Each structure stands twice: as C-alpha cells, then as structure tokens.
Amino acid sequence: MANLFIVAAPSGCGKTSLVKALIEKTDHLRVSISHTTRRSRPGEENGKNYFFVSKDKFDVIKNSNGFIESAKVFDNYYGSAKQTVQDLLDQNQDVILEIDWQGARQVKQSFAEAIGIFILPPSISALKERLTNRGQDDQSIIDRRMQDAVNEMQHFDEFDYLVINDDFDTALNDLSNIVKSQRLILKQQTQQYQDLLKELI
C-alpha cells in the first residue's frame, strides 16, 4: 500500500528544491505532475514539470471532476489529476503532491490518509531575501508573495509534520525521515512482508 504525501510551503521556502533532492535519494517515490494554466518558465518541460494547458482545457478537466484538488494561485490555476495520482499509487509508488493548504484540504476529502508536511522558512527576513535573490519577480510581486506567505503560514497546524528549511541538508534529512517512518508503520510492513509473517507466525 503506497503513501500519498502532501508537501506545502509559502513561495520561496525551497519546497521544489527539497522535493527534487528527496526524489533523487529515495526509491519508489514520485511527484505527481500537476496541470497549470501558467506559462512555462525557462528550462521547464511540458509533462515533466507541469502539464501546461489552456484555461479552457483546465475547466474541462475540473468540470468532469477530474482533479482531486485545484486552486487559483497568483492569477493562474493549478490542479492534480485523480488519474495521475491513482496510477502511481497502483504501481506501489509513494506519491508527493506539491500543493498549498487549500489543495491539502481538498485532497483529504478523497484521501483521508494522506500525510501532510508543511515547510517553513527560518525567519520572515530570510524568506524575503530568498524571494528577492531569485531575480524572477519585480518588487510589487515580491511584496504580494510576502503578504500571501504570511496568510499561508497561518495554516501550518493543519498538517501532520512541520519542517523548518534553515539548513537545506537538515531539512532534506527531516523529509527523508518522514517518508521512511511512514513506510515502517504496521500496516505498510504487514502488507510488504506478508509471506515472511506467515512463515514466522
């Protein structure tokens, strides 16, 4: 039985970099590729980073109940397709959804056992510095992202785990330990080692 993990964080907390590193060091763990109406950024590939779709195409999927969660973020729409997630789980792959707190609430309605992880910055000043140093946005967008970040961080207590991304390697280790701990719970181990348990007991 595979696990569904929800990883959420305000913009600039290093969520994407942490998840990418976690995937590279962890077997049988995949990120569910989301659909989005935003334009691709330099280096992003359709079907690898996101499924980049038109607003009309997005609405067709949403209206047919094809998303387990969807949200509007910074004037663009994002959604996680039910079929994408279920296909990975059926292949016994643990799945990560990189979404916000609103999406996490929606996912919990369909997957009550989903495991929520919230990532926070070490300070407000560190978050602002990270957003500024990315060099992707002008000051008005940075200010808006900072305001939205404060609102998002108020929902950290709706999640199961909290990770502070002060030191990248420490935060990555924390994420790795969370994934490992879920794989060791009784239900998971009983299913994986059912033949051994029959032999031993």
Is 4 within 8 Å of 113 (Cβ atoms)? yes
pLDDT at residue 69, as a whole number:
95
Alpha carbon distance 7, 15 (integer Å): 8
Mean pLDDT of the chain: 92
pLDDT of 108 reads: 93
User: What is residue 135's predicted lDDT score, i.e. its pLDDT?
Assistant: 63
Cα R_g (the chain), whole angstroms: 18
CB 112 within 8 A of CB 25: no
Residue of 80, 78, 76 whose CA lies nearest to 107 = 80
Mean pLDDT confidence for 117-140: 84
Sequence-distant (≥ 6) Cβ neighbours of residue 16 within 8 angstroms? 98
CATH number of the domain located at residue range(s) 4-32+93-200 in this protein: 3.40.50.300
Q: How confident is the model at residue 132 (pLDDT cuts 50, 70, 90)?
A: confident
The pLDDT tens digits of the residues spanning 137-157 come to 778 888 888 888 889 999 999
Q: Output the 3-class SS for 84-151.
A: HHHHHHHCCCEEEEECCHHHHHHHHHHCCCCEEEEEECCCHHHHHHHHHHCCCCCHHHHHHHHHHHHH
Confidence of residue 178 (pLDDT cuts 50, 70, 90): very high
Determine the pLDDT at residue 127.
86
pLDDT at 84 over 80: yes
Question: What average pLDDT does range 173-181 have in this prediction?
Answer: 97
